[in-house]
Copies of this chain bind each other. A is one copy, B any other.
């Protein structure tokens, strides 16, 4: 833990005191979003200190040049850069004609940020003596509406404290922005029109190359003692437009500027209707007014929390951690649009680029399946089905044929947009995670219809890829898979990564099984798919031959599967025996040293044991956990959660709890000293899994929900709800017992610690 400046609180994220050192980190932590847009917690007023400005619109990106050493065939044409969008939150403040700036104030006191996760509102207040010696008190509230997802609202109130002062507000829009990661101060936006109409303003701009057209808009009004102060003419340039308000304010009195703003985009509107759509949105928001919109915001969040909250008793930090994770996931993706996905940094930073990684399938889908209804997970699955043609095109570009599909490592629209050969070309296990999610979806939701409708085509493309990706080794008399990168990216270009080989074998067998199921149960779909894919029995036999003869590296000496060929050639010094000064190795060691070392960035063999636990005994798990965990440095945000779940399964609750803390407070406590770059959104779903699957032991076994509840020593109780096949089950685990409570009208049969338990609506069952 590197920071301790966030105050522990069950429902709020709180920072107290102003420290310029924390500004960029807090901008990340206090980020807000509503699934359609989001923004870092930048100040509304000008700030001349260090800041990382970020406002993001879902699905809007820029195809940056692929930067590599030497070009390699098969590289994607571009790297999808997450774009900082035009600023609509800005409000310049003038006090007696001098611009107010927290970086130049003579004194700042009572500075407090509070992100109220229960209500979805971000508040900032402080008292300051401005550079020209005027004392004011400021309270700013801001939220991005869940109800009208194109709009956000700001209430900026200034109370003049000791002497009268003239206060000026200049709410503005600005499209003259760049990215933090711009290499040459490149601009990514072309502004085509800037207009003002009474107290509203609009900037129409489109992204270069991708031509995402947007209208950034605002409406502002100023209230002084219950009266509207009229807007004056503001500034207007090619990329900037503002309104101005001025008011002489008596000491002790308060001015409140209300600003609505946001974006209308061509994902939802015709290009020539963006301004009128913006006007409609402003009409809607302003007719409700700030207070009503805020009330609706609270209600919307209440309904999200009603289903997805996890309550932890006796451990405020753990409680705050899990709620922060659930809150951020819901800020990022709400499951309302199958064209969108869950970017690894959500709307909180630029890093990683692209919106979709295998994180979605491996980590996020379980969370969304259990805390929303099955339509959301189905949307995420459909997203990949919609990209199947592009995955086939991607594989074709790499030399595969006959409809083999390789899904991209990173994408915005189905096209690959990551640009390192060891990832793009080799980290192909992602393909398996996409197949696994189809299995997981059906297992959890019981909705088989996705497979004949869409899933089987995806599976066939993936099975074809695996079949072509292996080659027969005469030397081993088995099929081998050369040149891959497993989930542990601290190894590149390895041979026979056990996890990838296992996934490949599983994918082929699973696809063959589903083909048989669809043939029996959905003959029309079967014939449609066979016609489309031109799959023959002969090809299926070849797949089967590969699956049946796949090579798996194994050590007799240690009785474990090897992460890859040659793993035992490494210098097997355990992580605990490394000097502390050498860690984190990704900051202290050169890349070649990392690659040669045995150290594991994130679960690799153990990821396979997590996905396919039914294939292995508890003894197997223990042996592999004890072999690999001591070499694991957990320098990926996706690592601790899987280890927490496995440790819990092995009954090692102390270890599981430590992994849980690390995953749940990764950003709040800035474990990796990088929170200023943005939050780790997708791994937050892993935090949820740590509790529900780890401590709660939730699984679906033989079509039934099953639990093996445990509780960390540090906790008195915890409870969560899951939606299992439209039955809402509330589970509460205390140190004494576990209670189950079913809502709705239909009973359900579950298993607890292996024993069948019948749940009836509104009846509390204690085990």
Query: Contact residues of A with B, CB < 8 Å?
Result: 65, 67-70, 72-75, 183-184, 186, 397-399, 418-423, 425-426, 471-476, 480, 482-483, 492-493, 495, 557, 565-566, 568-572, 586-593, 595-596
Residue ID in chain B nearest A471 by CB atoms: B571
Please report the C-alpha to C-alpha distance between residue A420 and residue B74 in the assembled complex, in whole angstroms. Answer: 17
A-B CB proximity, top 6 nearest: A74-B590, A425-B592, A69-B420, A67-B67, A72-B591, A475-B568
Residue ID in chain B nearest A397 by CB atoms: B590
Looking at A422, A473, A565, A590, which has the most chain B CB atoms within 10 Å of its CB? A590
Residue ID in chain B nearest A183 by CB atoms: B65
Given B74, B184, B475, which contacts A569 in the complex, CB threshold below 8 Å? B475
Given known pairs A493-B492, A589-B399, the reply for A596 and B69 (CB within 8 Å) is no
Do B483 and A592 touch (CB < 8 A)?
yes
Residues of B within 8 A of A492 (CB): 492-493
Do B482 and A569 touch (CB < 8 A)?
yes
Do B420 and A70 touch (CB < 8 A)?
yes
Residues of B within 8 A of A67 (CB): 67-69
Given known pairs A482-B569, A495-B569, A566-B495, the reply for A69 and B423 (CB within 8 Å) is yes
Do A68 and B68 touch (CB < 8 A)?
yes
Known: A480-B569, A493-B595; 5 extra A-B contacts, CB below 8 A, are A67-B67, A72-B590, A72-B591, A184-B186, A482-B570
Please report the C-alpha to C-alpha distance between residue A383 and residue B569 in the assembled complex, in whole angstroms. Answer: 37
Residue ID in chain B nearest A566 by CB atoms: B495
Do A74 and B473 touch (CB < 8 A)?
no
Nearest CB on B from A648, distance (A): 32
Please report the C-alpha to C-alpha distance between residue A394 and residue B570 in the assembled complex, in whole angstroms. Answer: 24
Do A586 and B73 touch (CB < 8 A)?
yes
Please report the C-alpha to C-alpha distance between residue A398 and residue B593 in the assembled complex, in whole angstroms. Answer: 7
User: Can you offer 14 A-B residue contacts whose CB atoms are under 8 A?
Assistant: A68-B69, A69-B420, A70-B420, A74-B591, A421-B591, A421-B592, A471-B569, A474-B572, A475-B569, A476-B569, A492-B492, A495-B566, A565-B566, A566-B566
Residues of B within 8 A of A473 (CB): 568-570
Do A482 and B398 touch (CB < 8 A)?
no
Do A596 and B471 touch (CB < 8 A)?
yes
Residue ID in chain B nearest A428 by CB atoms: B592
Do B73 and A587 touch (CB < 8 A)?
yes
Do A398 and B568 touch (CB < 8 A)?
no
Residues of B within 8 A of A68 (CB): 67-69, 420
Please report the C-alpha to C-alpha distance between residue A67 and residue B420 in the assembled complex, in whole angstroms. Answer: 11
Nearest CB on B from A53, distance (A): 22
Residues of B within 8 A of A420 (CB): 68-70
Please report the C-alpha to C-alpha distance between residue A460 and residue B67 in the assembled complex, in whole angstroms. Answer: 37
Do A590 and B482 touch (CB < 8 A)?
no
Residues of B within 8 A of A571 (CB): 471-472
Please report the C-alpha to C-alpha distance between residue A65 and residue B589 in the assembled complex, in whole angstroms. Answer: 21
Residues of B within 8 A of A474 (CB): 568, 572
Given B566, B568, B589, which contacts A73 in the complex, CB threshold below 8 Å? B589
Do B423 and A591 touch (CB < 8 A)?
no
Residues of B within 8 A of A566 (CB): 482, 495, 565-566
Nearest CB on B from A653, distance (A): 34
Given known pairs A67-B69, A495-B566, A565-B566, the reply for A74 and B472 (CB within 8 Å) is no
Residues of B within 8 A of A596 (CB): 471, 482-483
Please report the C-alpha to C-alpha distance between residue A685 and residue B472 in the assembled complex, in whole angstroms. Answer: 41
Given known pairs A475-B568, A568-B473, A596-B483, the reply for A591 and B493 (CB within 8 Å) is no
Do B69 and A471 touch (CB < 8 A)?
no
Nearest CB on B from A59, distance (A): 23
Please report the C-alpha to C-alpha distance between residue A67 and residue B425 in the assembled complex, in whole angstroms. Answer: 19
Residues of B within 8 A of A568 (CB): 473-475
Residue ID in chain B nearest A496 by CB atoms: B569
Given known pairs A399-B590, A592-B74, the reply for A419 and B65 (CB within 8 Å) is no
Please report the C-alpha to C-alpha distance between residue A423 and residue B557 in the assembled complex, in whole angstroms. Answer: 35
Nearest CB on B from A135, distance (A): 45
Residues of B within 8 A of A471 (CB): 569-571, 596
Residues of B within 8 A of A565 (CB): 565-566
Please report the C-alpha to C-alpha distance between residue A592 and residue B482 in the assembled complex, in whole angstroms. Answer: 9
Please report the C-alpha to C-alpha distance between residue A590 and residue B596 in the assembled complex, in whole angstroms. Answer: 25
Residues of B within 8 A of A75 (CB): 591
Do B69 and A419 touch (CB < 8 A)?
yes
Please report the C-alpha to C-alpha distance between residue A197 and residue B425 in the assembled complex, in whole angstroms. Answer: 60
Residues of B within 8 A of A69 (CB): 67-68, 418-420, 423
Residues of B within 8 A of A591 (CB): 72-75, 421, 425
Residues of B within 8 A of A570 (CB): 471, 473, 482
Nearest CB on B from A152, distance (A): 32
Please report the C-alpha to C-alpha distance between residue A421 and residue B184 in the assembled complex, in whole angstroms. Answer: 24
Residue ID in chain B nearest A567 by CB atoms: B475
Do B483 and A426 touch (CB < 8 A)?
no
Residue ID in chain B nearest A75 by CB atoms: B591
Nearest CB on B from A403, distance (A): 17
Looking at A70, A418, A480, which has the most chain B CB atoms within 10 Å of its CB? A70
Nearest CB on B from A58, distance (A): 24
Given B73, B419, B588, B592, which contacts A590 in the complex, CB threshold below 8 Å? B73
Residues of B within 8 A of A483 (CB): 592, 595-596
Nearest CB on B from A324, distance (A): 26
Please report the C-alpha to C-alpha distance between residue A475 and residue B483 in the assembled complex, in whole angstroms. Answer: 22
Residue ID in chain B nearest A66 by CB atoms: B69
Residue ID in chain B nearest A593 by CB atoms: B399
Please report the C-alpha to C-alpha distance between residue A44 and residue B751 in the assembled complex, in whole angstroms. Answer: 86
Nearest CB on B from A247, distance (A): 47
Please report the C-alpha to C-alpha distance between residue A8 and residue B557 in the assembled complex, in whole angstroms. Answer: 66
Residues of B within 8 A of A572 (CB): 474
Residue ID in chain B nearest A495 by CB atoms: B566
Residues of B within 8 A of A74 (CB): 590-592
Residue ID in chain B nearest A186 by CB atoms: B184
Nearest CB on B from A150, distance (A): 34
Nearest CB on B from A466, distance (A): 14
Please report the C-alpha to C-alpha distance between residue A596 and residue B476 in the assembled complex, in whole angstroms. Answer: 16
Residue ID in chain B nearest A79 by CB atoms: B69
Do A73 and B588 touch (CB < 8 A)?
yes
Please report the C-alpha to C-alpha distance between residue A398 and residue B557 in the assembled complex, in whole angstroms. Answer: 33
Do B592 and A426 touch (CB < 8 A)?
yes
Please report the C-alpha to C-alpha distance between residue A557 and residue B476 in the assembled complex, in whole angstroms. Answer: 13
Residue ID in chain B nearest A591 by CB atoms: B72
Please report the C-alpha to C-alpha distance between residue A235 and residue B184 in the assembled complex, in whole angstroms. Answer: 32
Residues of B within 8 A of A480 (CB): 569
